[in-house]
Structures are given as C-alpha cells and as structure tokens.
C-alpha cells in the first residue's frame, strides 16, 4: 500500500504557497497551506504532517520559533527551513533546532520536490531504525 505524504507549507507570501502547492500536489502527496506560524502550529495540533516547508521570516512568530515548537511537540515531522535572507548563522541555528534542510529563495519546483523527497526518505529511515531498535529490546 502506498502511503500519502502530508506536507504543510508555511509562508506569508501567497505566490510562494501556491508555487509549492503546484510543485508538490499529486496522488501520493496531500499539501495544505497556511500563511503564518500561529496557523501552522494550530494546524499541526489538529493533524500530523510528515514534512513542513517553513519560511524563516514571517510577521508574528518567525520561522525559528515555529521550528523549535514543532520539534518539541511533533519531533517526527521533518522541517525544511526556507529563507530569502540566507546566512550561515541562521542555517546553523535551524539545523541545531532540528531542521532537516535549509534552502535559500528563490526555490524552484525541482528544489522543493527534491527537498521534500529527501525529508520523507529521512523520516522513513528514522522510523525503520526506531522500529528495529524497539524489536531488539523486546528480544
């Protein structure tokens, strides 16, 4: 059985949200869109997401704050931080907070697809590793 990947796109720019939606939509992928960090956290409280594409700079809660909360409450979700203002310091911070990847805008459709696929692959391997470790402790 093929499992549907659930992706949450969080960006304050509608054109960016719609661009990511077009790139990722398909039979094996369900994409939902929100325009700010508060809406993202509310949506995650309602249902789980495999991958979150998260803008770093947004009004209200910024991406780093949202990333930190997501990894505390929903550590199984993979987060890809996306920014129009890339800096080595913010990339280090994002990764230290648990981001799977850090991308600089503009992000093309292939970049979005590749990052989301990589995050899903990482998540599947982590789940498999956890299951194997759990089985080993039961034996």
* CATH code assigned at 114: 3.40.50.2300
Confidence at residue 96, expressed as pLDDT on a 0 to 100 scale: 96
Residue-number span of the structural domain to which 15 is assigned: 5-138
CA distance readout (Å), 118 to 50, 122, 134: 12, 6, 24
Confidence at residue 3, expressed as pLDDT on a 0 to 100 scale: 77
Confidence at residue 132, expressed as pLDDT on a 0 to 100 scale: 58
Residue 53 · residue 8 · CB < 8 Å: yes
Which residue numbers in the chain have pLDDT < 50? 1-2
Helix (H) or strand (E) holding 129: helix 109-138
Confidence at residue 136, expressed as pLDDT on a 0 to 100 scale: 58
Residue 74 · residue 53 · CB < 8 Å: no
Cα(27)–Cα(89) distance, integer angstroms:
37
Residue 19 · residue 43 · CB < 8 Å: no
Tally of structural domains, the chain: 1
DSSP-assigned beta bridge partners for residue 8: 32, 52
For tokens 């990764």, the residue is 95
Q: Which pTM value belongs to this model?
A: 0.88
Confidence at residue 107, expressed as pLDDT on a 0 to 100 scale: 93
Confidence at residue 1, expressed as pLDDT on a 0 to 100 scale: 31
For the record, the structure tokens of 114 come out as 């590749």
């Amino acid at each position: 059985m093929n499992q549907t990947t659930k992706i949450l796109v969080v960006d304050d720019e509608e054109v960016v949200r719609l661009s990511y939606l077009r790139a990722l939509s398909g039979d094996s992928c369900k994409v939902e869109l929100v325009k700010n960090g508060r809406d993202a956290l509310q949506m995650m409280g309602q249902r789980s997401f495999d991958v979150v594409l998260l803008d770093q700079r947004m009004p209200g809660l910024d991406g780093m704050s949202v990333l930190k909360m997501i990894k505390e409450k929903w550590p199984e979700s993979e987060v890809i931080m996306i920014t129009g203002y890339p800096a080595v310091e913010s990339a280090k911070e994002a990764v230290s907070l648990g981001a799977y990847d850090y991308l600089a805008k503009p992000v093309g459709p292939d970049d979005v697809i590749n990052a989301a696929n990589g995050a899903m692959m990482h998540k599947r391997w982590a789940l498999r590793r956890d299951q194997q470790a759990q089985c080993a402790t039961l034996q």
